[in-house]
Structure 1
Amino acid sequence: MAVSVRIPTILRSYTGGASEVTAEGGTLAEVLDHLDAAYPGIRGRVVDEAGDLRRFVNVYVGNDDVRFLDNLTTATPDGAQISVIPAVAGG
């Protein structure tokens, strides 16, 4: 299943500057694995060493935050739009 993944500016060095890329996978974990095969190292910026989403990275499938769905096992239907959004802090 092909999905579209929006890449934040901070991770575009992994995608050769592309702001959006196409990936395959039926779940978010599979999409991240496919992305990492095409763009080595990008998965490690989204998922921590324990295999969980990093604390300060938000991922949406469509308009839904995967943390309120099934995290990395969230379904990614064909044509879905996935957005990776790093949390911003400041004062």
Structure 2
Amino acid sequence: MSVNVRIPTILRTYTGGKAEVSAEGATLGEVLADLEKSHQGIAARVLDDEGKLRRFVNVYVNDDDVRFDNGLETATPDGAGISIIPAVAGG
């Protein structure tokens, strides 16, 4: 399945400055693996050392937060939009 992945500004160094890239995969995990093949280093910013989504990175498939769905096993239908959103803290 081909999906569009929206890349936050902080990760665009891995995508040559592109704000959106295409990736393939039937699940979010597969999409991230495909993204890593084309844009080496990006997966390490989204996944922790155990291969799970980092605590302070939010990922949405279409408008659904994958933390409340199936995490990396969340289905990514053809044409889906995936958003990677790093949490912002301040005070």
Same fold (TM over 0.5): yes
Cα separation, 2, equivalents of 1:44 and 1:32: 10
Deviation at 1:49, TM superposition (A): 0.5
**RMSD across aligned positions (CA):** 0.3
Cα separation, 2, equivalents of 1:43 and 1:27: 15
Cα separation, 1, equivalents of 2:17 and 2:36: 15
Secondary structure of 1:55's partner?
coil
Secondary structure of 2:29's partner?
helix
Runs of 4 or more, structure 1, over 4 Å off, are none
Aligned length: 91
Q: String of CA shifts for 1:37-68, please: whole Å, max 9, x gaps.
A: 00001011000001110010000000000000
Which protein is richer in helix relative to its size?
2
Query: Structure 1 vs Structure 2: percent identity of aligned residues?
Result: 68
Unaligned runs of 5+ in 1: none
Unaligned runs of 5+ in 2: none
Cα separation, 2, equivalents of 1:44 and 1:73: 18
Q: Scaled by the length of structure 1, what TM-score is found?
A: 0.99
Cα separation, 1, equivalents of 2:11 and 2:81: 17
